[in-house]
Amino acid sequence: MKVFSFRNIRVIILLGLLASAAIYTKEQRLNTTSWYQTINVVIYPINGDSSPETEHYIQNLSTKSFKDIDDFFNRSAKKYQLIIDKPMLTTLGNTISSHPPSPPADRNDRLKVMLWSMKLRYWAYKNTPDDISNKNRIRLYVLYHQGSDNESLAHSLGLQKGLIGIIHAYAKPAQNKQNVIVMAHEILHTVGASDKYNYQNTQPLYPNGYAKPDQKPLFPQRYAEIMAGRIPVSNAQAKMPKDLRFCLVGEQTAKEINWITMP
């Protein structure tokens, strides 16, 4: 048996890369859930449908376009009495022409998901290089589309490993407030929050998917738990919030992101 065969060397290199990635991810997790300093969120627009209308929309974006995200996190931080007043600071980054690798169709195939995650992180490194550490920075890659009334956009993703979000958003001013709700939701995924809705029908799960689970009468709710994304109006119905002013960080989400110390 050849100890230093080509196959064994490849395995050793792969294991080394995985170990390095695990250590780096652990450091990211610690840095982004200690909440002793502001986390930078950088939004990188991408023309998702290559249309001139979408390009025009992107050219008119500014950091001010995402102010609602910072306001939402500032309000939420006060509710949970965080030491830091501004947990997130959102800025607009450069427009990117390259598209991120698509996730595997079978999300249950752990090997494919792991390989895709590594490809995505390498793509992010190649397309958004800079001189600062990524241990305390969240990168959102927002693919803008014109979209249509009869067609929903691809599902957005927020990954804790790499602090990366892939957002599919509408390139229409009328959709701006809905877009930032999706972005805030995925930002929270990157720092450890879980979804709190039924994947089959998108109905918020009781009690953790309700902003006010102890409200009496329970319905209708006025606010959406941000990780549920919808306002429950009955046991079987929910509606989209108008904007982030009608969204709250629920207690379970606060525990997951270390805003509430676990007993």
Digit-coded pLDDT (tens) for 137-185:
899 999 999 988 777 899 999 998 889 999 999 999 999 999 999 999 9
**pLDDT tens for each residue of 187-229:** 999 999 999 999 999 999 999 999 999 999 999 999 999 999 9
163 Rama sector, left if φ>0, alpha if ψ -120 to 50, beta otherwise: left
The Cα–Cα gap between 239 and 230 comes to 5
Per-residue pLDDT, 25 = 54
For residue 1, pLDDT over 50 is answered with: no
Instruction: Let me know: does 132 contact 82? Beta carbons within 8 Å.
Output: no
Q: Read off the pLDDT band of 68 (50, 70, 90).
A: very high
Q: Where are the domains of the chain?
A: 23-192, 195-263
Q: Is the pTM of this model over 0.85?
A: yes
Taking 90 as the threshold, does the pLDDT of residue 109 lie above it? no
> What average pLDDT is seen over the chain?
88
> Bridge-partner residues for 96, per DSSP?
46
Q: Across residues 92-105, what is the average pLDDT?
A: 94
pLDDT at res. 87: 95
Residues of the chain with pLDDT > 70, as a percent, come to 84
Judging by beta carbons within 10 Å of its beta carbon (0-12, 13-18, 19+), is residue 130 exposed, middle or buried? Answer: exposed
CATH 3.30.70 holds for 23-192: no
- The average pLDDT across 7-12 equals 64
* pLDDT score recorded for residue 36: 87
Residue 30 has pLDDT above 70, yes or no: no
Tokens of 129: 């290089």
d(CA 109, CA 235): 33
Q: How far apart are CA 208 and CA 196, in angstroms?
A: 6
Range of lowest pLDDT (14-28, 79-93, 138-152): 14-28
For residue 8, the model assigns a pLDDT of 66
Interatomic CA distance for residues 67 and 80, integer angstroms: 21
Over residues 245-255, the pLDDT tens digits come to 999 999 999 99
pLDDT of residue 101: 96
Token representation of residue 209: 């998917």
Per-residue pLDDT band for 19 (boundaries 50, 70, 90) equals low
